[in-house]
């Protein structure tokens, strides 16, 4: 079908495969992968060929897709001991924190031991730091395959397994500033890297209202720990999608705590899924609250059992990926959990992961893309049975095309934004005028515009603005004259642009109109206003629906926002499909209606101006959506309508 062919071509844009070169890491077992800026770091692991445990560091440049093996400088600290199945987390976007893992041991009967040591890798200096940590009551048990997440300046370690493969049921907190263990709490769940992930919610992330009491520390929490099991009731289902805070507030607010989501799946023959939210107080009186959110997960589809999953938070979504194995299929699968509504959706990546051996996924937050390392020429099941990781190919998946993307960061307080609007509406502090296409004059402060709009500053330097006093022949001095410049755009668009320049944000009702946002996105692309582009793209993502999709598609195409364009295109294809289904249902209903026999005398005369039921036109909105979809070549090539006396 044409629609299926079109969706296949879209998936080819969403998912692309790159071949790597350079010092490609050999096949490894239990190596860690992390991303900082435009580099992927692979550390440790056990060599598949020789079963030797390593402490090598490999770095992939995501601009050139060239691997290099890092050789530490002589002044670097001693390298951490070789290990595999350890945890690795990014701290302050410049450090990689390594914890635990399996290492070789001559004193052990098995020749192996598990670790509880910490190692730090400085990615700016490319040097190791292995601090000596004093034992304490909060020191963790040695373990491998732990879950770990970083919250502010704290490393939170959850679960893992000991040398006998027993699960470690505790949570430990390590202070990355003082380099000491400061908390230890029980966690009566079996959590490990084989079946679970732990991710920190970034500041400003919205959370369902059903969790509000636990996150605020309300309720019975006398001993500092609170484990809640929420049972699904009608009231819970009704309020499940409610939010703790509205979007405009969450974008600007910084919560006191950044809770950690722990998602686990097990019993893969009949998959069981659990979702816990761990809120750890980092104050002088530490406490831990564990919320069981499992019963609130919703969605028409759920993730299958994923082995060795990886998880990340991006915007208001938790991105989950892992290896899916069944008797019918073996593939790498990617899913997204909406943290507002706890609803799962699948990331449709096309046929790429249906073949080959794709083993480990990492998030490249700067580009809203998910990177999957592997080898497209190997067999996934065979490599999985040997825990074999490959690094010859990288598949990139555009998550923004599914509405999963990094949110704009707040740059100033709400008070500062209100002061900016007040300044814009105060003519007494203006010394310049912007003339719109309708010849409306808007008084502005030129210093503000020069500071925040580079194009305006360049324009003022290289041109001589019109002085109203000179143009009208007044005898006013140059100090009293008012300068102006013509900006040939509609008045509402110019006002919306000035409101952004004065506030560095989109916050007025006038700005949040689809046609205004479309014009602002074009201006942002034309004048390279990156902050405005980011804000407007986010706003258009939020208001994308069947009625706005054609406008957003056209605007995104003109402003080079490919991800937004793809998402709008998919919405238009879905709208076309809905229209076709409705038309088929109407036709089937009409065919089922019996037609009574009529004689020529009884047959009613139909007026020429009165259309039959089948001839009734569809709504203008449907006609516009169908027309745009057809014109962009989704269903048939563009053809001219045949008119009287004309040939097609």
Task: Give per-residue pLDDT as tens, 14-53.
Answer: 999 999 999 999 999 999 999 999 999 999 999 998 999 9
Minimal CA–CA distance to 157: which of 228, 86, 225? 86
Please state the separation of Cα 351 from the chain's center in Å. Answer: 22
When mean pLDDT is compared across 395-404, 434-443, 578-587, 622-631, the lowest value belongs to 622-631
* Range list of H helices, 425-490: 446-452, 454-462, 468-472
- pLDDT of res. 173: 93
* Range list of H helices, 463-607: 468-472, 491-503, 514-527, 530-542, 549-558, 562-592
Binned at pLDDT 50, 70 and 90, residue 8 comes out as: low
Backbone phi, then psi, for 504, in 5-degree steps?
60, 30
- pLDDT of res. 598: 58
Binned at pLDDT 50, 70 and 90, residue 605 comes out as: low
- pLDDT of res. 575: 85
Please state the separation of Cα 142 from the chain's center in Å. Answer: 34
Q: Tens digit of pLDDT for each residue in 423-437?
A: 999 999 999 999 999
Global pTM value: 0.81
When mean pLDDT is compared across 187-196, 241-250, 565-574, the lowest value belongs to 241-250
Q: Which residue has the higher pLDDT, 160 or 12?
A: 160
Q: Tens digit of pLDDT for each residue in 338-363?
A: 988 889 999 999 899 999 999 999 99
CA dist., res. 389 & res. 381, Å (int): 12
- DSSP for 106-163 reads SSSTTSEEEEEEEEEEETTTTEEE-------TTPPPPBBS-EEEEETTEEEEE--B-T
Tell me the domains of the chain and their CATH numbers.
414-469+482-543 (3.30.710.10)
For the segment 194-223, the average pLDDT, to the nearest whole number, is 63
- pLDDT of res. 595: 64
Binned at pLDDT 50, 70 and 90, residue 201 comes out as: confident
Taking a C-beta distance cutoff of 8 angstroms, is the pair 41, 57 a contact? Answer: yes
CA dist., res. 23 & res. 33, Å (int): 16
Per DSSP, what are the bridge partners of residue 95?
A: 91, 122
- Round the average pLDDT of the chain to a whole number and report it: 82
> pLDDT at residue 601 above 60?
no
**DSSP class of residue 527?**
H
Q: Tens digit of pLDDT for each residue in 528-572?
A: 999 999 999 999 999 999 999 999 999 999 999 999 999 999 999
- pLDDT of res. 464: 56
> pLDDT at residue 159 above 50?
yes
Binned at pLDDT 50, 70 and 90, residue 256 comes out as: low
- pLDDT of res. 235: 42
């Amino acid at each position: 079908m044409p629609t299926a062919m079109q969706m296949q071509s879209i998936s080819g844009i969403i998912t692309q495969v790159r071949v790597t070169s350079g010092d490609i890491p050999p096949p490894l077992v239990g190596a860690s992968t992390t991303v900082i800026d435009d580099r992927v770091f692979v550390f440790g692991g056990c060599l598949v060929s020789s079963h030797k445990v390593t402490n090598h560091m490999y770095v992939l440049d995501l601009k050139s897709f060239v691997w290099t093996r890092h050789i530490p400088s002589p002044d670097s600290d001693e390298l951490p001991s070789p290990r595999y199945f350890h945890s690795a987390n990014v701290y302050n976007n410049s450090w990689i924190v390594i914890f635990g893992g399996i290492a070789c041991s001559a004193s052990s009967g098995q020749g192996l031991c598990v670790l509880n040591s910490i190692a730090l890798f400085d990615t700016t200096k490319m040097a190791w730091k292995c601090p000596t940590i004093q034992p304490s009551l909060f020191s963790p048990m040695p373990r491998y395959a732990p879950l770990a997440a970083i919250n502010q300046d704290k490393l939170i370690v959850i679960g893992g397994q000991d040398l006998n493969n027993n699960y470690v049921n505790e949570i430990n907190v390590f202070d990355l500033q003082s380099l000491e263990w400061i908390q230890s709490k029980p966690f009566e769940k079996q959590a490990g890297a084989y079946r679970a992930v732990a991710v920190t919610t970034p500041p400003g992330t919205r959370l369902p209202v059903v969790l509000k009491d636990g996150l605020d520390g309300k309720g019975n929490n006398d001993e500092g720990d609170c484990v809640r099991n929420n049972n699904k009731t009608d009231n819970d289902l009704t309020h499940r999608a409610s939010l703790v805070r509205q979007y405009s507030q969450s974008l600007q607010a910084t919560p006191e705590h950044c809770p950690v989501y722990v998602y686990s799946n097990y019993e893969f023959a009949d998959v069981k899924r659990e979702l816990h939210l761990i809120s750890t107080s980092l104050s002088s009186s530490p406490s831990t609250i564990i919320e069981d959110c499992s019963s609130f997960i919703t969605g028409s589809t759920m993730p299958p059992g994923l082995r060795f999953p990886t998880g990340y938070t991006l915007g208001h979504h938790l991105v989950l990926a892992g290896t899916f194995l069944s008797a019918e299929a073996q593939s790498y699968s990617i899913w997204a959990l909406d943290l507002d509504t706890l609803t799962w959706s699948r990331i449709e990546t096309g046929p790429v992961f249906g073949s080959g051996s794709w083993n480990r996924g990492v998030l490249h937050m700067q580009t809203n893309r998910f990177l999957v390392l592997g080898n497209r020429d190997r067999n996934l099941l065979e490599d999985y049975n040997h825990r074999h990781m490959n690094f010859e190919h990288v598949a990139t998946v555009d998550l923004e095309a599914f509405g999963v993307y990094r949110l704009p960061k707040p740059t100033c307080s709400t008070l500062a934004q209100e002061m900016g609007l007040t300044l814009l509406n105060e003519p007494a502090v203006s010394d310049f005028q912007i003339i719109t296409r309708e010849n409306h004059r808007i008084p502005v402060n030129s210093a503000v515009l020069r500071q925040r709009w580079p194009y305006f500053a360049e324009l003022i330097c290289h041109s001589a603005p019109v002085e109203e006093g000179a143009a009208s022949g007044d005898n006013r001095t140059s100090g009293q004259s008012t300068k102006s410049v013509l900006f040939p755009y509609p008045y509402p668009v110019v006002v919306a642009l000035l409101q952004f320049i004065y506030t560095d944000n989109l916050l007025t009702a006038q700005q949040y109109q689809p046609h205004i946002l479309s014009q602002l996105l074009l201006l942002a692309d034309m004048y390279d206003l990156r902050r405005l582009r980011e804000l407007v793209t986010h706003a258009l993502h939020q208001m994308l629906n069947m009625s706005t999709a054609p406008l957003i598609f056209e605007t995104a195409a003109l402003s080079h926002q490919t991800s937004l364009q793809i998402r709008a295109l998919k919405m238009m294809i879905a709208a076309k499909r809905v229209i076709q289904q409705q038309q088929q249902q109407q036709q089937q209903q009409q065919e089922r209606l019996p037609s009574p026999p009529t004689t020529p005398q009884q047959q009613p005369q139909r007026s020429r101006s009165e259309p039959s039921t089948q001839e009734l036109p569809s709504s203008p909105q449907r006609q516009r959506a169908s027309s745009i979809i057809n014109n962009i070549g989704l269903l048939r090539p563009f053809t001219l309508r045949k008119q009287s006396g004309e040939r097609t």
